[in-house]
Chain A
Amino acid sequence: MMRPIRRILQAREAGIIVMLVIFSLAVGAIAPRFLTAETLGIVLLAVPLIMVAAMGEMMVLVARHVDLSIGSILGFSAIAAGMIFRDHPELPLVVGCGVAMLLGGALGAFNGLIVTVFRLPSIIVTLGTLSLYRGLLFILSGARQIDPNDIPEPLIRMAQTSPIGIPWVVIIAFAVALATWLFLTHSQIGRQIYAIGSNPVAAPLRGIRVVPVTILVFTLSGALAGLAGIIYAARFGYVNPGITGVGFEFTVIAAVVIGGVSVNGGVGTVLGTVMGVLFLGAVQVALPILGVSGFWQNAIYGGIILIALIIDRTVRQGGLHGLLARGGA
């Protein structure tokens, strides 16, 4: 079966796979402990949280927008679900999870509405909602955290195991990635997201309904951040209004950007993003093994974003020469 844009896929994604392999080998050379199945297990466990949210953020970036509020949406959804678990333990697990995703979607939709209706830059809007939603979650939770005993056992177990040995959350994360891939490559709307990011001016001229599609993208991003909130609760066993999700958006953006998604929109694949998430997970796990203090993590993420930006620009300008050659002012 023929798949369009196969060539671009090979170029960018091959790059990140190679980087991941080189990185793993390099670390493995210094600390052979890194290249074990156990390590792989740890990496896979570290990954679902970022993976799920990265799928959403990826779509936002492809549409030529940015969503800085996903950390707060994650926190808000996690708190809401946690409160349901705590105050209504008789309700099935699914209710809490469903509410989390619905709320996340609603918060995302609000982002999308403000951006499209008022034609404002998404960066500033989501900077505002980042705080707005964080504040709301404080009010909602009464500044109380959700304790480990409030989180249902089944949920915690999902972060640890499943009938086939791989924790449920990992399966869910990859399922989400698969679903995103299907959506983006096999549905008309998915392709329209790429079109909007590729040429926002031409999109309405070609009959694409930019406003609904953009709102949809933000809604999905929010819903996925909500799902990430559930995964957080499952994995860490608690939810704290002041900690949960803080700074999360930057980690996710780093993963997405290194996975080859362009900040100019229109470019990026699920495979690349998955690789980017795995790379970040590998870095996260490698640091303690290498004896590097965990404090380096954010600096590395920031550096990664900057390097990815340079690479993205170089690719677009046709090489380093094009990057630096400049005429006129």
Chain B
Amino acid sequence: MLTFTQQMARNWGNVRGGNADMTGMAGAPPLISARGISKSFGGVEVLRNVDLDLTPGEVHALLGENGAGKSTFAKILAGVHRPTRGTISLSGKLVDILSPIGAQRFGITLIHQEPISFPDLSVAENLVIGRAGGKPLGRVRWAELAQDARRLMSLLDVPIDVTLPMRGLSIADQQMVEIARALASDSRLIIMDEPTAALTPKEVETLFGIVRRLRDEGRTIVFISHRLEEVRAICDRVTVFRDGEKIDTAATETLSDADIIRRMIGRPLNDYLHRGTSHVGAVALAVRNLSLPGRFEDISFEVRKGEIVGLGGLVGAGRTDVARAIFGVAPAASGDILVDGNRVVISQPTDAIALGIAFVPEDRAVAGIFRSLSVESNITAAVLGKIARGGVVRRTAERALARQSVERLRIRLASLRQPIGELSGGNQQKAILARWLLADPQILILDEPTRGIDIGVKAEFYDMIGDLAADGRAILLISSELPELLALSDRVLVMSEGRLTADIPRAAASQEAIMHAAVPRASRAGLGA
């Protein structure tokens, strides 16, 4: 049984010495060939017919908007999901990647955006536990373990005390440990999901140095990122995803940033029509200098009655955090919220509801529905007290309200009494929207309201949202779907990395403009119009 050191030497030695002919890209046989990869979740197709080759000794970027499919594709490679259709070949041989551990045996490692670890165990142990080939009945040789761990981390040039518990490490350091883990298990394909999101420029440089070294050894690095400048600095080729399809693969140097962005978002213009002119009234909701350290900073904006303000940005920009702060689920640390011109204190959702604010959360499965309870009780959940008499629920009134909602929003169900979990995603979402409409909110915050919903139902939602605004409500629409934002919004705010980076009136709004503001700051300097 090889010691950790011996294994490491073997891993690194092998790659350096024996496979020199695998370095470089041109003419090398593909490491991984994906053909016809498709994936559906519960009837909604998120990937369609993706063909992609990854060659040994390259750094390959996967780009695309939120929900374009790049993460799903990467997870399929890493064994987290199984494709609904399609094949994957490894060095020419068809393989079936059944699980993350199976992927690791094939030499594929995924480094998550938020590292998974055992917080109470030391760094050295996290590096070692559960490694393929480890023997559960063996002894733990601490001295050797610590020594090897230290050597590994120093190879990455990262000064982490390997005896510390993982819990105390910064996200950046935890990522480094995950990378070291991948190296220790001799991965030929290392997928990094947004690795630089939490890193300082110096840490990014360190990471890039490591990535280059790995590439020179003949490994393949897949880099999922939004930061075009970084992609340009480190990646040999890029593949752009859009709406679940692979649009293009090309060498990085042959594409300008504008080219890339166009591929990410390009759709024929007549896909989106604006809603009619809106009659906009007084300011209903205003936030001033709202801040929550670590999430968002200095956020100020206004939403008027009858207005739909879109809030765009990439995942992690902090949009949902702002919404949660306004609604009282996770209040801001500083700043003011004004409703109808009056400064208010919102420390829990009940406060927000009393002020006429409603929030439809983005993850309905977790924060929205009561899965096993009836559709009826889900719809009336926020107004139960209002229709009760003396604390007692009035069933007839409840039934009537629920029925009205079902008709108004055209919710398709078999019975009001059935558990909401049995409804399709779109109808569940309608039910949650119905819940808040019953509360007759003056300010409505919608977070990704049409996520995971079929095209036809989406259109119904757009109509409803438009109607709500026409009724005089103030709507804050958080969405990652650019056509949606453009179709519905009177103004589009954009957040990036916790800050508000743009406030674009409808006339000037375009997909390019939004994307430009959404992409992290370092990259924006390099972009054209």
Most buried by B among A190, A205, A207, A208: A207
Stretch at the interface among A41-49, A118-126, A191-199: A191-199
A188 near B: Cβ within 8 Å? yes
The reply on A267 being an interface residue by CB < 8 A is yes
- Produce 1/0 per residue, A170-204, CB < 8 A to B: 00000000000000011111111011011101110
Question: Does B328 lie within 8 Å of A208, measured CB to CB?
Answer: no
Q: A2-B143, A7-B164, A188-B137 are in contact. Are A207 and B132 (CB under 8 A)?
A: yes
- Contacting A at CB under 8 A, from B316-336, are 324, 328-331
Verify if A8 is at the interface (C-beta below 8 Å from B).
Answer: yes
**Can you name the residue of chain B whose Cβ is closest to the Cβ of A329?**
B348
Q: Which residues of B contact A6 (CB under 8 A)?
A: 163
Q: Report if B30 contacts A (CB, 8 A).
A: no
| Assembled-state Cα–Cα distance A207/B119 (Å) | 17
- Report whether A2 and B347 are in contact in the complex, using a CB–CB cutoff of 8 Å: no
B101 at interface (Cβ–Cβ under 8 A)? yes
Check A187 against B140 for contact (C-beta < 8 Å): yes
By a CB distance below 8 angstroms, the chain A residues around B281 are none
When distances are taken between beta carbons in the complex, the residues of chain B under 8 Å from A37 are: none
Is B136's CB under 8 angstroms from A188's CB? yes
A206 and B129 in contact (CB under 8 A), knowing A4-B145, A329-B349?
yes
Quick one: which of A299-329 are within 8 Å of B by CB? 327-329
State whether the Cβ of B11 lies closer than 8 Å to any Cβ in chain A.
Answer: no
Complex contact A191–B129 (CB within 8 A): yes
Measured CA separation A267–B134 after assembly (Å) = 23
B201 within 8 Å of A (CB atoms): no
Verify if B120 is at the interface (C-beta below 8 Å from A).
Answer: yes
Which bracket fits the contact residues of A?
20 to 34
Closest residue to A196 on the B side, CB-wise? B118
Give Cα A58–Cα B186 distance, bound, in whole angstroms: 36
Interfacial chain B residues near A186, Cβ < 8 Å: 139-140, 142
Report B114-132 residues with CB < 8 Å from chain A CB.
116-122, 124-125, 129-132
On whether the beta carbons of A195 and B122 are closer than 8 Å, the reply is no
Q: How far is the CB of B123 from chain A (nearest CB, A)?
A: 8
B276 to chain A, nearest CB (A): 38
Q: Does B121 contact A1, Cβ atoms closer than 8 Å? A: no
Which residues of B lie under 8 Å from residue A91 when comparing CB positions? none
A206 to B164, CA, bound (A): 20
The answer to whether A192 and B140 touch across the interface, beta carbons within 8 angstroms, is no
The answer to whether B125 touches A191 (Cβ under 8 A) is yes
- The answer on a CB contact under 8 Å between A327 and B330 is yes
Distance of A209 Cα from B130 Cα, bound (Å)? 9
B residues in contact with A207, CB < 8 Å: 101, 130-132, 134
Bound complex: CA A198 to CA B246 (Å): 39
A328-B349 contact, Cβ under 8 Å, with A3-B142, A4-B145, A187-B140: yes
Known: A2-B163, A4-B146, A328-B329. A188 touches B122 (CB 8 A): no
* Closest A residue by C-beta to B124: A4
Q: Which of A195, A209, A329 sits near B121, CB closer than 8 Å?
A: A195
- A5 contacts B by Cβ under 8 Å: yes
Known pairs A3-B163, A205-B101, A327-B331; A266 contacts B119 (CB<8 A): yes
B114 to chain A minimum Cβ distance, whole angstroms, is 11
Q: How far is the CA of A198 from the CA of B122 in the complex (A)?
A: 11
Q: Which of B419-467 contact A (CB under 8 A)?
A: none
Chain B contact patch, size range: 35 or more
In the complex, what's the smallest C-beta–C-beta distance from A266 to chain B, in angstroms? 4
Query: Is B143 a contact partner of A4 (Cβ separation < 8 A)?
Result: no
Residue from the list A1, A195, A208 in contact with B142, Cβ < 8 A: A1
Give CA–CA (A206, B126) in the complex, Å: 10
Q: B120: which of A198, A205, A327 is its contact (CB, 8 Å)?
A: A198
List residues of chain B with CB within 8 A of the CB of A267.
120
The reply on B408 being an interface residue by CB < 8 A is: no
For A316, give the chain B residue with the smallest CB separation.
B167
A185, B140: Cβ atoms closer than 8 Å: yes
Within the complex, which residue of B120, B134, B139, B331 is in contact with A197, where a contact is CB–CB below 8 Å?
B120
Report whether B136 and A189 are in contact in the complex, using a CB–CB cutoff of 8 Å: yes
Is B138 in the interface zone, CB < 8 Å from A?
yes
Known A-B contacts A205-B116, A206-B130; the reply to A4 vs B163 at CB < 8 A is: yes
Determine if B389 is an interface residue (Cβ-Cβ < 8 Å): no
Query: Do the beta carbons of A4 and B119 come within 8 Å of each other?
Result: no
* Assembled-state Cα–Cα distance A197/B145 (Å): 21
Which residues of A are found within 8 Å of B163, using beta-carbon distances?
2-7
* B483 proximal to A (CB < 8 A): no
Contact B146 A266 (CB under 8 A): no
Q: Does B256 contact A (CB under 8 A)?
A: no
The proximity string for B residues 143-156 relative to A, scoring 1 for CB distances below 8 Å and 0 otherwise, is 10111000000000
Binary interface profile of B, 223-239, with partner A (CB < 8 Å = 1, else 0)? 00000000000000000
- For the complex, give the distance between the alpha carbons of A154 and B286 in Å: 83
- CB of A199 within 8 A of CB of B118, answer yes
Set of chain B residues within 8 Å of A328, measured between Cβ atoms: 324, 328-331, 347-349
Interface centre among A185, A186, A206, A209, by most chain B C-beta atoms within 10 angstroms, is: A206
Let me know if B349 and A198 touch, CB within 8 A.
no
Could you tell me the distance in whole angstroms from the C-beta of B358 to the nearest C-beta in chain A? 15
Q: Are B119 and A199 in contact, with the CB atoms below 8 A?
A: yes
Chain B residues, CB < 8 A from A1: 142-143
- CB-CB < 8 A to B136: which residues of A? 188-189, 192, 209
Cross-chain contact A189 with B129 (CB below 8 angstroms): no
Q: Which residues of B contact A194 (CB under 8 A)?
A: 118, 120-121
- Chain B contacts of A266 at CB under 8 A? 118-121
Which residues of A (198-223) have their CB < 8 Å from a CB of B? 198-199, 201-203, 205-209
Tell me, yes or no, whether B36 is within 8 Å of chain A by CB: no
For the complex, give the distance between the alpha carbons of A3 and B347 in Å: 45
B337 to chain A, nearest CB (A): 14
Closest to A189 in B: B136
Cα separation A189 to B129 with both chains bound (whole Å):
10
User: Assuming A266-B120, A328-B347, is B142 touching A192 (CB within 8 A)?
Assistant: no
The answer on a CB contact under 8 Å between A202 and B117 is: yes
Asked if B137 and A2 sit within 8 Å, CB to CB, the answer is no
Among B120, B134, B162, chain A packs the most CB atoms within 10 A around the CB of B120
B350 contacts chain A at the CB level, 8 A cutoff:
yes
> In the complex the two chains form, what is the Cα distance from A187 to B329 in whole Å?
44
Contact present for A4 and B122 (CB under 8 Å): yes
Bound together, the chains give a CA A195 to CA B140 distance in angstroms of: 14
Q: Nearest B residue to A6 by beta-carbon distance?
A: B163
B165 close to chain A: CB less than 8 A: yes
**For the complex, what is the distance from the CA of A190 to the CA of B134, rounded to whole Å?**
14
For residue B328, which residues in chain A have a CB less than 8 angstroms away from its CB?
328-329
Residues of B within 8 A of A (CB): 100-101, 116-122, 124-125, 129-132, 134-140, 142-143, 145-147, 162-165, 324, 328-331, 347-350
23 contacts between A and B (CB under 8 A): A1-B143, A2-B163, A4-B146, A4-B163, A5-B163, A7-B163, A8-B120, A187-B138, A187-B140, A188-B137, A189-B137, A191-B129, A191-B140, A192-B129, A194-B118, A194-B120, A198-B118, A198-B120, A199-B119, A202-B116, A328-B324, A328-B329, A329-B349
Known A199-B116, A199-B118, A328-B348; further 11 A-B contacts with Cβ < 8 A: A4-B145, A5-B121, A6-B163, A7-B164, A8-B120, A186-B140, A188-B139, A199-B119, A266-B120, A267-B120, A329-B348
A residues contacting B by CB (< 8 A) are: 1-8, 185-192, 194-195, 197-199, 201-203, 205-209, 266-267, 327-329
The 10 closest A-B CB pairs, nearest first, are: A206-B130, A266-B120, A4-B122, A207-B130, A198-B120, A198-B118, A2-B146, A329-B348, A4-B163, A202-B116
